[in-house]
Each structure stands twice: as structure tokens, then as C-alpha cells.
Amino acid sequence: MPVGELRGDIVATTLETDTPSEDSDETGSMTPGKRLAISAFVVLTLLGMLATTAPRSEIKAGLFELTQPYLLATGLDQSWGVFAPSPPRTTNDVVARVDRADGGVGVYPLEGSNGVAEYWDYRWRKYGEQLWKKRGAERERTAFAGYIADQDRAAGHEPVRVTLLRIVHVNAPPGGPPPAAGSDREISFFSTPVGRR
Amino acid sequence: MTAPWVRLRAGWERFWFAPQSTAPVELLRIGFGLVATIWMLSLVPVLDPFFGDRGVIPPRVELPFGGWTLFTLVQGSPLIWVLWLAGLLGAVALMVGFRTRVAALVVFVVVMSVTRTAPLAFNAGDGLLRLVAFYVLLMPAGSAVSVDKWRTDRAGMWTFPRRAPWALRLAQIQLSVIYISTVWEKAAGAGWRDGTAVSYAVRIGEVSRIPVPTFLTDSPVLMELATFGTLATELAIGILVWNRAARPWVLTLGVLLHLSIELTLAVGFFSATIVTLYLAFVPPDRAEQVLLGMRDRLERRRRRSPQGAAAAPTESVPEARAPADVEHAPVGITEAPRTAHATAPQ
């Protein structure tokens, strides 16, 4: 059926959210070619959405391979696994420890501020979390250690090594006994000598 | 051609292309422009520590095919501030509808560049902002209630042309996909199945904003209610938002859910952005009422001011909606002028 023949149906049958259509200005002037091109774009976008959010499967893998360049170019790659599959049962505070040439030690906790400042500091918290969580983030850890060394130098010290640690605090299950005092653990996950950058 | 195929094709045409008022697009454009402006301002304290000469974010040496960021050109130099300023001006211009299409493009490019360059420092809320920026870029935004319209047709500033809503539909489907996808991901988690997930989520020290009282987090019954209630709400939004009768209810539940998240967890711009995306589901007639109500309020305020009283009636207000009419019309239910015909191309 030619597209033009459908136009009467389109105008006469409105969606539940539509106000009655009195003119079809743009659609009336939209060529079948333009409409076809938009339809192809819409299908590609829907397939991309499916590829990036669908459960793991062969279909998802195939679709993702097909649509990945489009998803990356348009920024439509996405993941909505916030607090999934389950929220962490621990609190992890990231701390940078600086060993100095004079034998002293400096400690730089990676913590956000409170109040309005949370709306920009959450990125530091996120970065800190990814530093220990993300495998293969060696470049980021090295860059962060260098940044901390710069801060320490700016404070008048001579840093020789930066070690990144996470302090793990276990959160008890609801209704369960609180964790024993002193149960926090300190885990070192990266250490590097630091020279001048 | 067989009847089912014809019906399917007609349904496709109707859903994506049947013209409707652009009022929801303008509502979304204004709301998103405001969120994007605040987001750009929130970059100020981190721009230099992250992307400056000695920043913590290493430059992206290579991106997978299709990926791109303008920070490869400016990272480590003062030009990051030029890019940021372009993003800020673009966001403000998008909000007021000045050179709207260009503004939307600039906002999209800057948000994309920032989030692509530092994926480890930006969260799902920032990613959502990027998605909405892309959809707004595709929409016929700025066709009403905008500086663009004011410059070309002052009398038609508050009239809403009818356009094919395909980009708005994509944004609506995106919202649905977000909620269905998150429920699917959570359904596999032990914490969401045994009813303890919310108790743990609100006690994660790194993101905790206001400590939730322990009598709540320690109560298995209340935490089960909160956990299963969260899943039920998210699933309901994902599916029932397409039902006209249920839509206001599920979106109200969604606003309450995100308000509670906003109060307890410091997760940046996620709540603000997703609630802004809800505006894509405001029915066109309701969106027109909201925007015309806004116009009436602005008009009344202007008339109350000494300068406004001296200047009234103004040339920018169409005769049919002159101040005399406005005074007697209850706010928010002013009818949209149905005689308006769009002439501007998309």
C-alpha cells in the first residue's frame, strides 16, 4: 500500500495521548523516502537499545557486535545494573598512603564532601571505587598515584612511594548482630614509586 | 498485501509519525536544559583536577571503533575550559530555546566528550544525561516557547506546531527500557530476592547522604517492604507508563522513589535526569496547559511591575490571549489556540 493511502488513517486515528489532529503539517510534507530513512534509524536505535540492555545471550552478543559502532558514536551504550545484582555488603573507603624520603607518612583519604558539594564530589567517590574494583585500570591507578604525589609535593614534602588502600567495613544484615569491633580490614591494592612527573 | 501487515504498518505510522503538539518536547527541552546547565556548573571544581595538565584522568589513547571524544584535542591544556564554556552556554541556550538545534548539539558533544574520557569517574546519571541529550537533539525542540520562535514569530511564540513525534517516542521507550532492564538485572541478585537489598544500599558509606535511622535498616520487615516495593515500582513504571489511566500513578510513585533515593544517597544527577525524562510522557494537551499557565503567570507578574503596567498591552501577546482574557482564566487550564498552524520546517 502506498504511504499516501495510509495518511487518512493516521490523522483519523490518534493515539491516546494525542490531541485531535487538525493539520498534518510536517508529516504531510514528509516524503516517503524521509519517512523510510527515519524508520530505518528508529529500528537501528531500538536494536541498539536491545543489544546493550538485553540479558546475556547469543542474540544479544550478535546484536551488540552489529550495533556497537553506532552505539558508541551516538552515546547510546548503556547499563542499568545500579545496585545489581545485589548492593555491596561492605563500605569501602579508599585511602592513598604516601611514604616520604624523610621516613614520614602522609595519608590522603578519597572522600567526598557533604551538602551541595556532593553534586560534584560524587565523581571522586566513583573514581575511588573504580580504582580498586576495575581490573585493568593500571593507567588510572598510576595517574592517581602521581596526582597524590603532586599534592604531597605541593605541601612541601618529598614523596617516594604511593600506596592505594581500601578500608573495608562490613555492614551487618538487617536485624543481625553488628560486626565485631576492630573487624575493619585494610587491603592494599596498588603501590608504585613516584618520581617527579 | 495481507491485512495484518497493513494493520502493522498503519500502527507503525501512527505511533511514530502521527503529528502531535510539540508542547511535551518543549517541556522536556526546558527541563533538560536546566538540568544540563547545573550539570555543566558542577564540572567546575573537578575539571582541572580531572582533565588539567596534571589531572588524575589519563588521556584516552584509543577508543573502540565508533567512540569519540573532543577531549583528545584539549585534555591537559586550558582549552578544556573553552569546551566547558561552550557546554555551559549551549545548556543555557537550550533551556531558553536560542539556536536550539545547535545548542542541543553542543550540549551533546560536551556531555559525550566528558563521559567518554573519564568513564571511571562518571556514573549512570551522567550516562543518562548523555542519552537524553541525544534524544533532545533529534526532537523539533525550539518550535515554541523559545527565543528562536520569539525572533521569527512573536505572536506565535505560545502556539505549538504539530510534528511527527518519533524522537519523543524513542525517549519514551528509553525510559521504559531503563526500568525493565534494571528490574531484570536485580532479579538475579540474592539481596533483591531475600528482601535485604535496600538495607545494604542505604548503608554504603561511600554514597550515603543522610543516615537512615537504624530502627528502619535493622527491621527485616520494613526493609523487605522497601526492597520489594522498589522492584514493584520500577517494574510498574516500565510497563504501566504506557497505560493512560495508570501513567500518572506510576510516574508519581517514580518521583517519590527517586526523591527517597535523592535524600539518602549521593548519586549525582541520576534522579534529576530521570524525573526530567518523565516529561516525555506528559500528554500534549496537559503540556500545553502547563506552558500556557507559565505564560499567564509571567504575564501577570509583568503587569504587576511598574514597567510592565506602563508597557501593557504588549505587542508580543496575541490578541486572542490579551491580558484582559488572561485575568479571568484560571491558571493552568487556559486552552491552547487550536487554530495555530505551523509553518516552520523541522
B309: Cβ contacts below 8 Å, ≥ 6 apart: B303
Q: How many CB pairs under 8 A join A and B?
A: 268
Q: Do B200 and A124 touch (CB under 8 A)?
A: no
φ/ψ region of B76 (left if φ > 0, alpha if ψ in -120 to 50, else beta) reads: left
| A106, A159 contact by CB (below 8 A) | yes
Q: Which residues of A touch B42 (CB under 8 A)?
A: 119-120
Nearest-Cα distance to chain A for B304, in Å, is 34
Nearest C-alpha in A relative to B2: A1
Mean pLDDT of chain A: 85
A42 to each of A178, B179, B254, how far by Cα in Å?
52, 20, 27
| B129, B39 contact by CB (below 8 A) | yes
* pLDDT grade for A197, boundaries at 50, 70 and 90: low
CB of B79 within 8 Å of any CB in chain A?
A: no
Query: What percent of chain B has pLDDT above 70?
Result: 88
Residues 73-112 of A with CB under 8 A from B: 73-76, 78-89, 91-93, 112
Q: Do B118 and A30 touch (CB under 8 A)?
A: no
**Length of chain A counted residue by residue:** 197
Using alpha carbons, select from B197, B201, B264 the residue that is nearest to residue B228.
Answer: B197
pTM confidence score = 0.87
Q: What is the mean pLDDT of residues A30-40?
A: 94
Q: Do B220 and A175 touch (CB under 8 A)?
A: yes
**DSSP letters spanning B79-132:** HHHHHHHHHHHHHHHHHHTSSHHHHHHHHHHHHHHHHHH-TTT--HHHHHHHHH
Nearest C-alpha in A relative to B172: A46
Q: Which residues of A touch B134 (CB under 8 A)?
A: 74-76
Residue B323 has pLDDT above 60, yes or no: no
pLDDT for residue A196: 62
Q: Which residues of B touch A2 (CB under 8 A)?
A: none
Mean pLDDT of chain B: 89
Nearest to A25 among B19, B44, B270 (CB): B19
Q: Do B206 and A21 touch (CB under 8 A)?
A: no
Give me B203's grid cell: 548503608
Beta bridge partners of residue B255, listed in sequence order: none
Query: What percent of chain B has pLDDT above 90?
Result: 80
B236: Cβ contacts below 8 Å, ≥ 6 apart: B246, B250, B253
Between residues A110 and A196, the one the model is more confident about: A110
Q: Do A127 and B42 touch (CB under 8 A)?
A: no
pLDDT for residue A21: 39
pLDDT for residue A145: 96
Nearest to A80 among B50, B178, B200 (CB): B178
Q: Do A123 and B121 touch (CB under 8 A)?
A: yes
Residue A17 has pLDDT above 60, yes or no: no
| Weakest-pLDDT range from A49-63, A112-126, B151-165 | A112-126
pLDDT for residue A111: 76
Q: Do B66 and A69 touch (CB under 8 A)?
A: yes
Nearest C-alpha in B relative to A87: B201
* pLDDT grade for B211, boundaries at 50, 70 and 90: confident
Nearest to A171 among B66, B170, B203 (CB): B203
Residues 14-43 of A with CB under 8 A from B: 14-19, 21-27, 29-30, 35, 38-39, 42
Residues 159-218 of B with CB under 8 A from A: 161-164, 166, 169-170, 173-174, 177-178, 181-182, 184-186, 188-192, 196-201, 203-207, 209, 217-218
* pLDDT grade for A27, boundaries at 50, 70 and 90: low
- Fill in the DSSP letter of residue B12: H
Q: Which residues of A touch B182 (CB under 8 A)?
A: 80-82, 84
Q: Do A131 and B120 touch (CB under 8 A)?
A: yes
Q: Do A10 and B14 touch (CB under 8 A)?
A: yes
pLDDT for residue A14: 33
- What's the distance, CA B70 to chain centroid? 24
Q: What is the 3-state secondary structure (H, E, C) of B224-292?
A: HHHHHHHHHHHHHHHHHCCCCCCHHHHHHHHHHHHHHHHHHECCCCHHHHHHHHHHHHCCHHHHHHHHH
Nearest-Cα distance to chain A for B69, in Å, is 10
For residues B212-231, one letter each, b for 16 or more C-beta atoms within 10 angstroms of the residue's C-beta and e for the rest, the string is: beeeebbbeebbbebbeebb
| B302, B308 contact by CB (below 8 A) | yes
Q: Which residues of B touch A134 (CB under 8 A)?
A: 120
Q: Which residues of A touch B266 (CB under 8 A)?
A: 112, 118, 121-122, 125
Q: What is the pLDDT of residues A57-92, one digit of tens each?
A: 999 999 999 999 999 999 999 999 889 999 999 999
Residues 136-175 of A with CB under 8 A from B: 137, 139-140, 142-144, 146-147, 150, 169, 171, 173-175
Q: What is the ipTM of this complex?
A: 0.86
Q: What is the pLDDT of residues B106-126, one digit of tens each?
A: 999 999 999 999 999 999 999
Nearest to B123 among A89, A126, A146 (CB): A126
| B143, B22 contact by CB (below 8 A) | yes
Q: Do A25 and B163 touch (CB under 8 A)?
A: yes
Residue A25 has pLDDT above 70, yes or no: no
- Fill in the DSSP letter of residue B319: G
For residues B192-205, one letter each, b for 16 or more C-beta atoms within 10 angstroms of the residue's C-beta and e for the rest, the string is: bbebbbbbbbbbbe
Please report, for chain B, the start and end positions of each structural domain, with discontinuous segments joined by +: 19-145, 176-281
Nearest 5°: CA angle at B150, between B147 and B154? 170
Encoded amino acid at A98, one letter: V
| B265, B208 contact by CB (below 8 A) | yes
- Pairwise CA distance, residues B286 & B291, whole Å: 9
Residue B332 has pLDDT above 60, yes or no: no
